[in-house]
């Protein structure tokens, strides 16, 4: 097949999503029960118990999206008007939207050039007396330095929130699961993630007080075991029973999804080991491979060449750092030069999928080889 006719599975089609009969049965089970709202059913509560067990954490709270999961975390951390939250400019807008919603200030720290994850030194330099929390994103499924960030947060009395939306079952260099060192860790079930229920979020913690805050914030500040009393301000971020039922099945599939993504990524790494001008992350063990990030000399040129060969490739991941968006006025250009260089020049993102065959991977490797020789 000519390279430009390479039809890779994508997350927007049945070939690129790992669904089976079990998801279909789960949807019908909920429909037949006629209880679609999780305030009155058992699916979301069961999903929470299963998620807590998967991550060996005391509690999990289900919500309507990854952004909602982060909003629960930020609100439970006590972030409010005038507070500051330090995070990366290289992430989805969902990482910062909750901070804005709490009328707090997002403080952007620069990232490491090799993987785009927060630079702990830059984080520490950004701490002020107003800092309340740090949100560490495990970008693309590769580990942020949670050890160093945990130590900084402990030194300054800050809440550490791990944004694991892209890092299902990712591990750090010591083989520890990402999402187990933060006071709270948040996950997304959005269409593009490793596993999906369309939309959905999960927040995990070992702290019963944080868990209670998150649960209240998720359901209008209402603890339904004690009558119609609103203990604190909250929103309606409930996950529906339909979503939870699908998510429960997806949760049983995530280990295999990540295993296959790792196997294929290792095959690609071996195939392009000698390639000039494009490098996979040096830290590959434990990577969850939400996508495959490559470091190149000129990301626009590489992306164009790959796209011509039928390989979806995105230069820079984002068009601009988060702080350069109109929704976040007042930040100067050049604020985080290493993040800007990754976006403008050196970062190339390949879509990745557990359904890629070995042949798909070999064709992607060949397209990279051709792009490199141009
Ligand atoms: C790193 C990161 N954080 C947060 C989010 C927000 O998640 P959602 O789209 O489920 O609200 C996403 C993805 O969308 C993400 O990739």
Per-residue 3-state assignment (H helix, E strand, C coil) for 307-355: HHCCCCEEECCCCCCHHHCCCCCCCCCCCCHHHHHHHHHHEEEEECCCC
CATH (domain of 309):
3.90.1150.10
- Say if residue 242 is in the same domain as residue 302: no
pLDDT one-digit tens code per residue, 72-99: 999 999 999 999 999 999 999 999 999 9
Contact 200, 189 (CB under 8 A): yes
What's the angle, vertex CA 205, arms to CA 147 and CA 64, rounded to 5? Answer: 115
Q: Which domain holds residue 266?
A: 254-373
Which pTM does this prediction carry? 0.97
- Say if residue 198 is in the same domain as residue 282: no
Residue nearest to atom 5 of ligand 1 (CA): 94
Q: How far away, in angstroms, is 69 Cα from ligand 1 center?
A: 9
Q: What is the pLDDT of residue 373?
A: 85
From 134-148, 250-264, 273-287, the region with the lowest mean pLDDT: 273-287
Q: What is the pLDDT of residue 5?
A: 52
Contact 170, 288 (CB under 8 A): yes
Q: How far away, in angstroms, is 165 Cα from ligand 1 center?
A: 5
- Say if residue 118 is in the same domain as residue 162: yes
Q: How far away, in angstroms, is 70 Cα from ligand 1 center?
A: 9
Burial class (CB in 10 A: 0-12, 13-18, 19+), 174: exposed
Query: Can you tell me the distance from the alpha carbon of 114 to that of 258, in angstroms, rounded to the nearest whole number?
Result: 22
Question: Nearest Cα to 315, choosing from 335, 300, 330?
Answer: 300
Q: What is the pLDDT of residue 374?
A: 74
Of 136, 165, 166, 193, which is best to mutate to test ligand 1, by the most ligand atoms within 8 angstroms of its C-beta?
Answer: 165
Which one-letter DSSP state was computed for residue 95?
G
Question: Alpha helices of the chain — where are they, by DSSP H?
Answer: 21-33, 43-54, 66-76, 97-101, 120-126, 146-156, 208-218, 241-271, 299-308, 337-341, 358-373
CATH (domain of 236):
3.40.640.10
Q: What is the pLDDT of residue 1?
A: 43
Protein residues with CB under 6 Å of any ligand 1 atom:
65-67, 91-92, 94-95, 137, 163, 165-166, 188, 190, 199, 201
Cα 88 to its chain centre, rounded Å, is 13
- Say if residue 56 is in the same domain as residue 183: yes
Distances (CA, A) of 79 to 190, 294, 300: 25, 35, 39
Q: How far away, in angstroms, is 297 Cα from ligand 1 center?
A: 28
From 52-56, 98-102, 189-193, 276-280, the region with the lowest mean pLDDT: 276-280
- Total tally of structural domains belonging to the chain: 2
- Say if residue 232 is in the same domain as residue 286: no
pLDDT one-digit tens code per residue, 233-273: 999 999 999 999 999 999 999 999 999 999 999 999 999 99
Distances (CA, A) of 234 to 36, 221, 242: 21, 5, 23
- Say if residue 272 is in the same domain as residue 239: no
- Say if residue 233 is in the same domain as residue 347: no
Q: Token pair for residue 232?
A: 């604190």
Residue nearest to atom 10 of ligand 1 (CA): 66
Mean pLDDT of 208-225: 97
- Say if residue 235 is in the same domain as residue 308: no
Count of all residues that appear for the chain in the document? 374
Q: How far away, in angstroms, is 274 Cα from ligand 1 center?
A: 34
Query: Can you tell me the distance from the alpha carbon of 60 to that of 48, in angstroms, rounded to the nearest whole number?
Result: 5
Of 87, 116, 163, 188, which is best to mutate to test ligand 1, by the most ligand atoms within 8 angstroms of its C-beta?
Answer: 188
pLDDT one-digit tens code per residue, 172-205: 999 999 999 999 999 999 999 999 999 999 999 9
Of 70, 94, 140, 182, which is best to mutate to test ligand 1, by the most ligand atoms within 8 angstroms of its C-beta?
Answer: 94
Q: How far away, in angstroms, is 39 Cα from ligand 1 center?
A: 24
Q: How far away, in angstroms, is 77 Cα from ligand 1 center?
A: 19
Tracing tokens 């006590």 back to the chain, one arrives at 78
Cβ neighbours of residue 359 under 8 Å, at least 6 residues apart?
A: none
């Amino acid at each position: 097949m000519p390279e430009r006719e390479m039809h890779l599975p994508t997350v927007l089609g049945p070939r690129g999503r790992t669904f089976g009969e079990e998801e279909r049965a789960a949807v019908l089970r909920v429909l037949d029960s006629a209880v679609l709202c999780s305030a009155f059913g058992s699916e979301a509560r069961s999903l929470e118990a299963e998620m807590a067990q998967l991550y060996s954490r005391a509690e999990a709270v289900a919500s309507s999206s990854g952004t909602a999961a982060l909003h629960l975390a930020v609100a439970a951390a006590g972030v409010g008007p005038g507070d500051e939250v330090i995070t990366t400019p290289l992430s989805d807008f969902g990482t910062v939207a909750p901070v804005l919603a709490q009328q707090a200030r997002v403080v952007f720290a620069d990232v490491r050039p090799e993987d785009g994850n927060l630079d702990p030194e830059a984080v520490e330099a950004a701490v002020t007396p107003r800092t309340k929390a740090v949100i560490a994103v495990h970008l693309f499924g590769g580990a942020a330095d949670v050890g160093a960030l945990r130590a900084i947060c402990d030194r300054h009395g800050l809440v550490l929130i791990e944004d694991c939306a892209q890092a299902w079952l990712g591990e750090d260099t010591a083989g520890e699961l990402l999402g187990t060192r933060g006071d709270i860790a948040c996950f997304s079930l959005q269409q593009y993630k490793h596993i999906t229920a369309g939309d959905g979020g999960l927040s995990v913690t070992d702290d019963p007080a944080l868990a209670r805050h998150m649960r209240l914030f998720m359901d209008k500040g209402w603890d339904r075991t004690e009558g119609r009393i609103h203990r604190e301000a909250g929103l309606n971020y409930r996950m529906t029973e339909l979503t939870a039922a699908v998510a429960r099945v997806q949760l049983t599939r995530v280990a295999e999804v990540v295993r296959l993504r790792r196997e294929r990524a290792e095959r690609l790494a071996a195939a392009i080991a000698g390639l000039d001008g494009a490098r996979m992350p040096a830290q590959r063990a434990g990577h969850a491979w939400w996508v495959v990030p490559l470091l190149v000399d000129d990301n626009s040129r590489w992306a164009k060449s790959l796209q011509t060969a039928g390989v979806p490739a995105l230069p820079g991941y984002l068009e601009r750092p988060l702080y350069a968006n109109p929704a976040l006025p007042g930040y100067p250009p050049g604020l985080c030069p290493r993040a800007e260089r990754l976006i403008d020049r050196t970062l190339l993102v390949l879509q990745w999928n557990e359904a890629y065959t070995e042949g798909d991977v070999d064709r992607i490797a060949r397209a990279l080889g051709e792009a490199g020789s141009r």
